[in-house]
Amino acid sequence: MKKVTTSTLKKMKRDGDKITVLTAYDASFAKLFDEQGVDAILIGDSLGMVLQGEDSTLSVTTDDIAYHTRAVKLGAERALIVADMPFMSYATKEVAYTNAATLMAAGAHMVKIEGGSWLLETVSGLVERGIPVCGHLGLTPQSVNVFGGFKVQGRLPEQAQKMIDDAKALEAAGIQMLVLECVPSALAAEISKSIDVPVIGIGAGANTDGQVLVMHDMFGISANYMPKFSKNYLAEHHDIRASVKAFIEEVKAGTFPGPEHSFE
Ligand code: KIV
């Protein structure tokens, strides 16, 4: 068993081997996902919605993410552990350093922050201090109130160009992974081609370097809500391990996400 590192992910992108990522918030699911071969586990601030029942991610704290990161770390042996930095926990560089250090001490191998050009100094400062960073562009849920709802981003030509510029600038600042959420497939494909950093999509079509899903979505736990970009693997496979295995196989084969899970 070889641990997944930032070098592993880079090599996977170079080799065209798709990267699989799932969210997890506890040791049991982290262990199960790890055993099935998921490459990275994200302790997402989605936990505000799927664990805490809030209608956005804004109330999540660094202590919440640290608590769940400690649990995930005890379950995952192989996967790279990525911890989300919550709303306002990286509002300034100095605040970001302190909070990222808390998450790394809890067991994260990388932290994820939402946003583009305004974050460049924060990204380079974190990387210089030994903290790998994952960027997040497109529908960044911490900005839901600015967007006026959870909406696809990058459909207008000027928005699309800004996202491409932001992705390149974040790469130059030192990010080692990039999440693209709810963006048109063609734009996600173009961004994935224009940078060397692995790009992980969610609602970003099949032509990214990997895919991430929120575990509660892929198991259909929120019974009356399934985002267009997700798929209820448990309904199809009737077993949690088989569902995770199918997700990995479909991502590697390029059959998930299909056009029905993607945006134009
Ligand atoms: O919080 C989260 O789970 C995320 C994923 C949707 C990428 O940021």
The string of pLDDT tens digits covering residues 42-56 is 999 999 999 999 999
Give Cβ neighbours of residue 239 (< 8 Å, ≥ 6 apart): none
Decide: 170 in ligand 1 pocket, CB within 6 A.
no
Q: What pLDDT, on the 0 to 100 scale, is given for residue 187?
A: 98
Give pLDDT, residue 67. Answer: 98
CA-to-CA distance for 229 and 221, rounded, in angstroms? 15
Task: Give the closest residue (by CA) to ligand 1 atom 8.
Answer: 44
Atom 5 of ligand 1, residue of closest alpha carbon: 44
Q: Is the CB of 202 under 6 A from ligand 1?
A: yes
Write the DSSP symbol of residue 169: H
This prediction has a pTM of 0.98
- pLDDT tens per residue, range 161-216: 999 999 999 999 999 999 999 999 999 999 999 999 999 999 999 999 999 999 99
User: How many other CB atoms are there within 10 angstroms of residue 17's CB atom?
Assistant: 14
Tell me what pLDDT residue 222 has. 80
Distance 250 CA to ligand 1 centre (A): 20
Residues of the chain with pLDDT under 50: none
Q: What confidence score (pLDDT) does residue 123 get? A: 98
